[in-house]
Amino acid sequence: MKRLCIYCGSSPGSRPEYAVAAAACGRTLAQRGIGIVYGGGNTGMMGRVADAALEAKGEVIGVIPHHLAERELAHDRATQMIRVNSMHERKQTMADLSDGFIILPGGIGTLEELFETYTWLQLGLHRKPIGLLNAAGFFDHMLALLDHMVAERFLNPGHRDMLLVDDDVERLLHRMEGFVAPDAGKWLDSVAKELR
pLDDT of residue 185: 62
Write down the number of H helices and E strands in the chain. Answer: 9, 7
- State the SS3 of 52-116: HHHHCCCCEEEEEEHHHHCCCCECCCCCEEEEECCHHHHHHHHHHCCCCEEECCCCHHHHHHHHH
Distance CA 62, CA 75 (A): 8
Ranges of residues in the chain whose predicted pLDDT is under 50: 190-196
Does this model's pTM top 0.85?
yes
Beta carbons within 8 Å of 139's beta carbon, 6+ residues apart: 105, 132, 165
- Which residues are bridge partners to 36 per DSSP? 4, 60
pLDDT of residue 159: 93
Q: Which residue type does 31 have?
A: Q
CATH class of 3-139+160-186: alpha beta
pLDDT of residue 188: 52
Q: Which residue type does 84 have?
A: V
Strands 35-38 and 130-133: unpaired
pLDDT of residue 69: 84
Q: By the 8 A CB rule, do 182 and 124 touch? A: no
Domain boundaries, the chain: 3-139+160-186
pLDDT of residue 189: 54
CA dihedral 144→148→153→158, nearest 10 degrees, is 20
